Amino acid sequence: MKVELHCHTSRFSLCAVNTPDEMLARLVEEKYDAVFLTEHDALWSPQDIAFMQKRHPKIKIFPGLELTHHHDEGEGISHILILGTTDASFLFITDPEAIIAHAKKSDCLTIVAHPYRWTGADEFLKSSTLPDAMEGLTPNHSPRNAVLAHQAGKQLSLPIVNTSDAHAAKFIGRYWIETNIDFETPQQLREIIVAREYKNRVMAKKQPLLNE
C-alpha cells in the first residue's frame, strides 16, 4: 500500500492551496492507497470523512491532526501529527508529554513533524514520553534535516517516515511510505510503523523541492 501520512487541504488549513477534492483526486492519480488528512489544529468529523470517502472510493481516507505546540514563552513552535483522531480535546492539551500520553491511550500514531525544520531538535523529542516516529524527508524537511532525523532515530530507537506534508497537490508523490500489509484502521497502521513493516520511498526523478 502506498500511504500519505501528512496532507493538508484548504478546507481547514489556511496555508493550503487546494481543496479536499483536488488533493484526493491527485492522490488517486498518483496511485496512493490510503491518506491521513492532517490539518493544522483542526479536526475532520467522522461524518465529513465518510462523505469524502463516498466521493473518492479508490483511496482509504482517514482523519488526523497536525497539532501546534508553543514553547519558550511563544518563541518556539513544534508540530506533531496525531493519526486517526477526531478528538477535539487534543486542541486543549499544552504539555508535550500529556499530548503523547493521550494519543497512546487512544492508540493513535504520533509522528514528530519536520523535527529539524526550526532551531535544534524538536521539543517533542525532549519529552520523557517519546512519540512513535518522526519525519525524514518531506518538502518541508531538507535532505540535511532528514539525515539529522535518521541519526536521532537511531539513538532514540524511533522509526523515520517520509511524507508529502502536502499543502498543494503538486507536492504529492515525491516522498511516501509503502507497506505490504493491507490495513483497515489507523490502529493497524500504527502497528505497522512501530514494527517497521514499511519502506520509505522517494520519487525517482529529481525535481526542485521548494518555491517552484
Which residues would be at the binding site for Zn ion (CB under 5 A)? 66, 79, 113, 165
Handedness of CA 212, 25, 34, 79 (dihedral sign): positive
Instruction: Give the whole-angstrom CA distance, residue 46 versus residue 204.
Output: 36
CB of 129 to Zn ion, least distance (A): 21
Q: In terms of CB distance, is 78 or 179 closer to Zn ion?
A: 78
* Residue closest to Zn ion, measured at CB: 79
Specify the length of the chain in residues.
212
User: What are the C-alpha distances in Å from 210 to residues 43, 94, 190?
Assistant: 27, 31, 30
Q: In terms of CB distance, is 180 or 211 closer to Zn ion?
A: 211
Q: In terms of CB distance, is 22 or 191 closer to Zn ion?
A: 22
CB of 79 to Zn ion, least distance (A): 4
CB of 57 to Zn ion, least distance (A): 26
Q: In terms of CB distance, is 120 or 182 closer to Zn ion?
A: 120
Q: In terms of CB distance, is 69 or 190 closer to Zn ion?
A: 69
CB of 89 to Zn ion, least distance (A): 21
User: What are the C-alpha distances in Å from 12 to residues 41, 124, 132?
Assistant: 9, 24, 25
Instruction: Give the whole-angstrom CA distance, residue 77 versus residue 60.
Output: 31
CB of 165 to Zn ion, least distance (A): 4
Rg (C-alpha) for the chain, rounded Å, is: 16
**Helices 20-29 and 46-55 sit at what angle, rounded to 10 degrees?**
50
CB of 69 to Zn ion, least distance (A): 11
**DSSP conformational letter for 141:** B
- Tell me how crowded residue 61 is: count the other CB atoms within 10 A of its CB: 23
99 touches 182 (CB < 8 A): no
Q: In terms of CB distance, is 79 or 102 closer to Zn ion?
A: 79
